[in-house]
């Protein structure tokens, strides 16, 4: 919403073409000292001989966005990436939705590389068929098999639980009775599989899931039946396959699996062995045989069982005997079938239970007493919880996007609108911390990781909701959830006529305030209950416009859409103050970001709309915000804007938009500390608003507080890892600190292009600072060879840059020619935009470069008059920097140095690509200051330690 290149964010820079590995086809970014491809090398660990390392095409999971396999849609997380349940070297398991049955499944997608092995697909299909035949409560069933674009995949029953591995990692070894229960259930699964002639081949704690059945009892599910055989080394025919390319965890493999293809049969007895290792792991938290190499593991398997590991567990003799029998190296001495195993396990747990019974009886008495005590404590706690006041931390809430359950997808706007209206009402309660929409909109409606999200947003409560609209009735369902315990605090469903939707929003907001024990003042009661319009059609139209206005990017499409519907809303109800306020806001932000044509008419419409809103409802927060924003965005009248925003803040204490506006305005007024405080406040209610964080970082940059700026930028990269703006800012900071290698490293992966102006300018400047302008000259020539009307005066600026780069390269004739052309182009624009001081600065520098000193100086002075520093602390000093540069060039050393002295003492945003203000490092590196270098006053400035 600030005026810095918001509209220019669209184009994405891409990586330059890099050298690739001839073997695996991946970029050779990770290489050894002699150019080895480290990816090829590390792949060897997970590949069999003859298998090629995967080529990048095999993995689609690095790209965000929806993945679809047949009628299965892979679920995406808050970050837009597919939700992976597990990933191995050969396959990825996703959480996916069966769009036909509208249920969830685990979708295993096998890498292309495996799928492309000759015969692999038919083998895979055969195995999947066999696995699909196992119908058993302890086996996750395979329900679908498919192939798509060279990939095989199958859908499996989704088990909502955790793996044994995760459980043991979390809680440590299991108690004997639980472990035996798990193994008994797993043995039952083996019996069922054996009947179908299927061997698992990769039984290990991470392939056994635990879930609770409806009665709360543990249920074991074996997953991934039929996978190992297809993916394992047995698929290769080469006789050289010994233990190479072992898939899975060697520690759980049976000796016959180590023996290699065809040497020993791998049957159920192999699974029994692996289950034995699993039982060992459950009881001790470790595997019996470990070694640094597979050879060592194998050798240990055949020597002795480290029974001493079991000693301190005091296991019953039968259990030790069971373990011993399962872990015999020779399969002929293990239980010979799954059924035999089941009997052995069963008798063990029976035995164990008899022994345990006596102990348990005693325990029951103790337990009953304990229970009574717990109940008493719980009652007390509950009473206390009900009566005590909530802490400020507890009175915090984030409203997640509401799910649109209407059959008509077109009604999505309605769900968005209702969510935003509830959020807005809540944000009017001073006593409540409400996270702004900008920070919540990227989350899902009903996410799994509520606790994590609450942590990211710094709230104790989350509101989820859904909206269903059909004809003239609406059903709204809301659920207030306490994040720490993932428990419902309150939920309700409202079935209303469409005309009554406003009362639902009010009711929800009031109930939440009540539940979170936020006290409402009388004013707040009124504000929340206020009905913005009595005309349902007008409100519907308003919600449609609002949905457009809430979109993140200020694109012409969004702005025009918002404008159209909001105009319709106020046409239907001319007394709709909230509608008028929104219209003004849409117009003013369109004017500022130029997503609407910045005409006088548009500016006037913004003013009239804000005035109308204020006339209708003088205390409406949104109307005050609109009026303030109009003065800020359209008139740059910061004092008046501030006056309105301060008033708006009284009514909308939680609005990050108001706080952000206040931060911007105070910054322009040179009150950097106040601005900083507003930024901090805004981030409390809007912690994941990237634009806000980025503006805050820019403030730090202007103040030359680079470590703090870098920390803010890191915060952005944690939300948007590839944000180009942010990477460019990091590079600019490195330049300002004189760390050119680091800046170069940051800029290197970005492709030069006009699509992304910030990056381009920074790259050109880097070339100039490094005195290596060759590549940027070539690139600039290429860009300028194609006339592009949309560039406007910017093409002239690029020509100025080109001339500068050519001068640094020593090609003075070419430089002159570029500058002459730049001057012609820039002058033609200045006639149309006589107030554009950016343009004036460019033209002043160009004239100075061409030796037209008078013209250069007068332009710089004109710009300074137009935007004095006192009027605008952020960009006001820009013309002074232009003057310093022009004066250095024209030989007016005193004037240049006194300007530099002033500039180095104040915070500001610089005119050239170096958006960081001038620093000693810039003085040392920038060739434009060359003429001053001998002056001791300049040397003092340039060598001042920052």
Residues annotated catalytic, as ranges: 202
H or E element at residue 488: strand 487-497
Are the CB atoms for 686 and 694 separated by under 8 Å?
no
Q: Pairing between strand 433-434 and 396-399?
A: parallel
Task: Scan residues 86-125 and list those touching another protein (CB under 8 A).
Answer: 87-89
Q: Which is nearer to another protein, 82 or 250 (CB)?
A: 250
Q: How far is the CB of 22 from another protein (least distance, A)?
A: 4
Tokens found for residue 40? 């090829």
Q: Which is nearer to another protein, 687 or 877 (CB)?
A: 687
Task: Scan residues 352-411 and list those touching another protein (CB under 8 A).
Answer: none
Q: How far is CA 216 from CA 162, 189, 219, 350, in A?
A: 15, 20, 9, 21
User: How far is CA 440 from its chain centroid?
Assistant: 11
Q: Which of 487, 919, 495 is nearest to 706 (CA)?
A: 919
Residue 45 touching another protein (CB under 8 A):
yes
Task: Scan residues 21-40 and list those touching another protein (CB under 8 A).
Answer: 21-24, 28-40
Q: Which is nearer to another protein, 246 or 765 (CB)?
A: 246
Q: Which is nearer to another protein, 285 or 536 (CB)?
A: 285
Coil, strand or helix at 144: strand
Q: Which is nearer to another protein, 59 or 564 (CB)?
A: 59
Interacting residue with another protein among 648, 733, 859, 883 (CB under 8 A): 733
Site string for another protein, 62-91 (x = CB under 8 A): x------------------------xxx--
Residue 909 touching another protein (CB under 8 A):
no
Interacting residue with another protein among 59, 351, 684, 705 (CB under 8 A): 59
Residue 725 touching another protein (CB under 8 A):
no
Are the CB atoms for 445 and 418 separated by under 8 Å?
no
CB neighbours of residue 129 within 10 Å = 14
Task: Scan residues 286-315 and list those touching another protein (CB under 8 A).
Answer: 286-288, 290-293, 296, 306, 308-309
Residue 748 touching another protein (CB under 8 A):
yes
Q: How far is the CB of 494 from another protein (least distance, A)?
A: 42
Interacting residue with another protein among 371, 745, 778, 944 (CB under 8 A): 745
Q: How far is the CB of 462 from another protein (least distance, A)?
A: 25
H or E element at residue 495: strand 487-497
Q: How far is the CB of 34 from another protein (least distance, A)?
A: 8
Q: Which is nearer to another protein, 46 or 490 (CB)?
A: 46
Q: How far is the CB of 291 from another protein (least distance, A)?
A: 6
Q: Which is nearer to another protein, 721 or 834 (CB)?
A: 721
H or E element at residue 649: helix 638-651
What lies within 8 Å, CB to CB, of 191 at 6+ separation is: 338, 339, 342
Q: Which is nearer to another protein, 717 or 791 (CB)?
A: 717
Are the CB atoms for 54 and 61 separated by under 8 Å?
no
Coil, strand or helix at 534: coil
Beta bridge partners of 157: 105
Give the number of residues in contact with another protein, rule: CB under 8 A: 75
Which residue stretch of 124-132, 281-289, 608-616, 823-831 sits at the interface with another protein (rule: CB under 8 A)? 281-289
What lies within 8 Å, CB to CB, of 713 at 6+ separation is: 694, 697, 726, 729, 730
Interacting residue with another protein among 2, 13, 53, 863 (CB under 8 A): 53
Site string for another protein, 693-712 (x = CB under 8 A): -------------xx--x--
Which residue stretch of 14-22, 214-222, 381-389, 556-564 sits at the interface with another protein (rule: CB under 8 A)? 14-22
Q: Which is nearer to another protein, 85 or 798 (CB)?
A: 85
Tokens found for residue 8? 């220019």
Q: How far is the CB of 59 from another protein (least distance, A)?
A: 8
Are the CB atoms for 541 and 582 separated by under 8 Å?
no
Q: Which is nearer to another protein, 865 or 945 (CB)?
A: 945
d(CA 926, CA 807): 13
Q: How far is CA 218 from CA 189, 356, 572, in A?
A: 15, 19, 60
d(CA 270, CA 253): 8
Q: Which is nearer to another protein, 91 or 435 (CB)?
A: 91
Site string for another protein, 169-198 (x = CB under 8 A): xx-x--------------------------
Are the CB atoms for 203 and 299 separated by under 8 Å?
no
Question: Rg of the chain's alpha carbons, rounded to an integer?
Answer: 34
Residue 521 touching another protein (CB under 8 A):
no
Which residue stretch of 45-53, 126-134, 181-189, 401-409 sits at the interface with another protein (rule: CB under 8 A)? 45-53
Task: Scan residues 216-275 and list those touching another protein (CB under 8 A).
Answer: 238, 240, 242, 244, 249-251
Beta bridge partners of 404: 467
Long-range CB contact pairs, 482-486, < 8 A, 24+: 483/450, 483/451, 483/453, 483/454, 483/455, 483/459, 484/451, 484/454, 484/460, 486/450, 486/451
Residue 329 touching another protein (CB under 8 A):
no
Task: List the beta strands (DSSP E) in 814-930.
Answer: none
d(CA 344, CA 326): 10
Interacting residue with another protein among 5, 10, 49, 788 (CB under 8 A): 49
Task: List the beta strands (DSSP E) in 111-207.
Answer: 142-148, 151-157, 162-163
Torsion angle, CA of 78/79/83/87, rounded to 10 degrees? -150
Interacting residue with another protein among 41, 363, 369, 373 (CB under 8 A): 41
Task: List the beta strands (DSSP E) in 400-486.
Answer: 403-404, 433-434, 461-470, 473-482
């Amino acid at each position: 919403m600030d005026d810095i290149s918001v509209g220019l964010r669209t184009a994405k820079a891409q990586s330059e073409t890099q050298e690739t590995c001839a073997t695996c086809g991946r970029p050779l970014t990770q290489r050894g000292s002699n150019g080895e491809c480290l990816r090829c090398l590390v792949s060897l660990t997970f590949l069999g001989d003859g298998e090629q390392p995967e080529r990048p095409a095999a993995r689609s999971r690095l790209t965000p966005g929806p993945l679809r396999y047949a009628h299965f849609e892979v679920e995406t997380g808050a970050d837009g990436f597919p939700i992976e349940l597990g990933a191995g070297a050969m396959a990825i398991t996703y959480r996916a939705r069966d769009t036909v049955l509208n249920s969830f499944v685990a979708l295993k997608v096998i890498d292309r590389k495996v799928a492309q092995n000759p015969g692999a697909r038919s083998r895979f299909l055969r195995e999947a068929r066999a696995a699909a035949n196992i119908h058993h409560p302890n086996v996750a069933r395979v329900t679908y098999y498919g192939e798509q674009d060279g990939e095989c995949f199958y859908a499996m029953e989704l088990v909502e639980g955790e793996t044994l591995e995760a459980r043991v990692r979390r809680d440590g070894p299991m108690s004997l009775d639980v472990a035996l229960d798990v193994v008994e259930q797993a043995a039952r699964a083996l019996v069922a599989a054996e009947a179908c002639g299927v061997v698992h081949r990769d039984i290990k704690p991470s392939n056994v899931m635990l879930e609770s059945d409806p009665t709360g009892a543990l249920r074991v599910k074996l997953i991934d039946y039929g996978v190992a055989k297809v993916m394992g080394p047995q698929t290769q025919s080469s006789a050289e396959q010994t233990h190479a390319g072992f898939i899975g965890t060697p520690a759980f493999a049976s000796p016959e699996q180590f023996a290699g293809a065809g040497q020993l049969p791998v049957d159920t007895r192999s699974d029994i062995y692996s289950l034995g290792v699993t039982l060992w792991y459950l009881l001790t938290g470790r595997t019996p045989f470990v070694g640094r190499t597979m050879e060592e593991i194998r050798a240990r398997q055949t020597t002795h069982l480290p029974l001493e590991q079991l000693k301190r567990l005091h296991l019953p003799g039968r259990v030790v005997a069971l373990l011993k029998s399962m872990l015999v190296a020779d399969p002929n001495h293990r239980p010979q079938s799954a059924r035999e195993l089941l009997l052995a396990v069963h008798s063990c747990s029976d035995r164990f239970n008899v022994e345990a019974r006596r102990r348990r009886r005693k325990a029951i008495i103790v337990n009953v007493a304990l229970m009574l005590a717990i109940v008493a404590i719980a009652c007390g706690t509950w009473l206390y919880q009900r009566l005590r006041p909530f802490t400020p931390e507890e009175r915090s809430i984030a409203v997640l996007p509401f799910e649109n359950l209407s059959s008509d997808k077109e009604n999505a706007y309605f769900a968005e609108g209702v969510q935003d209206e509830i959020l807005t009402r809540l944000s009017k309660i001073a006593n409540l911390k409400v996270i702004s929409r900008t920070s919540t909109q990227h989350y899902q409606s009903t996410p799994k990781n509520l606790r994590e999200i609450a942590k990211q947003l710094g709230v104790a409560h989350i509101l989820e909701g859904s909206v269903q609209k059909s004809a003239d009735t609406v059903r709204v369902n809301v659920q207030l959830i306490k994040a720490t315990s993932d428990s419902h605090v309150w939920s309700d469903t409202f079935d209303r006529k469409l005309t009554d939707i406003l009362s639902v929003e009010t009711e929800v907001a009031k109930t939440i305030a009540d539940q979170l024990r936020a006290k409402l003042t009388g004013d707040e009661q009124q504000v929340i209950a206020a009905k913005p319009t009595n005309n349902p059609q007008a409100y519907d139209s308003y919600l449609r416009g609002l949905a457009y206005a809430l979109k993140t990017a200020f694109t012409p499409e969004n702005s025009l859409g918002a404008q159209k519907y909001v105009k319709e809303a106020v046409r239907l109800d001319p007394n709709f103050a909230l509608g008028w306020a929104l219209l003004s806001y849409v117009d003013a932000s369109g004017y500022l970001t130029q997503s609407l044509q910045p005409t006088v008419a548009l500016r006037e419409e913004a003013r009239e709309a804000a005035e109308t809103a204020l006339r209708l409802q003088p205390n409406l927060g949104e109307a005050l915000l609109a009026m303030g924003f109009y003065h800020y965005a359209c008139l740059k009248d910061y004092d008046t804007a501030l006056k309105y925003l301060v008033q708006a803040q009284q009514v909308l204490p939680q609005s990050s938009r108001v706080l952000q506006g206040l931060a911007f305005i105070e910054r322009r007024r040179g009150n950097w500390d106040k601005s900083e405080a507003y930024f901090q406040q805004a981030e409390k209610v809007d912690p994941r608003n990237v634009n806000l964080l980025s503006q805050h970082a820019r403030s730090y940059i202007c103040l030359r507080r680079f470590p703090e700026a870098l920390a803010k930028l890191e915060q952005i990269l944690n939300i948007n890892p590839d944000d180009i703006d942010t990477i460019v800012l990091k590079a600019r900071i490195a330049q300002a600190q004189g760390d050119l290698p680091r800046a170069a490293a940051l800029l290197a992966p970005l492709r030069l292009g006009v699509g992304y102006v910030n990056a381009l300018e920074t790259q050109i400047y880097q070339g100039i600072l490094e005195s290596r302008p060759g590549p940027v000259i070539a690139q600039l020539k290429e860009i300028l060879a194609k006339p592009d009307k949309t560039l406007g005066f910017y093409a002239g600026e690029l020509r100025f840059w080109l001339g500068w780069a050519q001068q640094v390269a020593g090609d003075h004739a070419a430089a002159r020619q570029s500058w002459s052309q730049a001057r012609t182009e820039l002058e033609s624009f200045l006639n149309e935009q006589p107030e554009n001081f950016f343009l004036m600065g460019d033209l002043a520098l160009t004239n100075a470069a061409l030796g037209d000193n008078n013209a250069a100086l007068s332009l710089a002075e004109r710009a300074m008059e137009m935007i004095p520093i006192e009027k605008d602390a952020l960009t006001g000093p820009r013309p002074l920097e232009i003057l310093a540069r022009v004066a250095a060039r024209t030989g007016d050393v005193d004037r240049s140095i006194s300007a530099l002295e002033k500039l180095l003492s104040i915070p500001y945003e610089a005119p050239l690509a170096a958006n960081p203000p001038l620093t000693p490092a810039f003085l040392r590196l920038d060739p434009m200051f060359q003429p001053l270098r001998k002056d001791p006053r300049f040397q003092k400035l340039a060598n001042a330690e920052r």
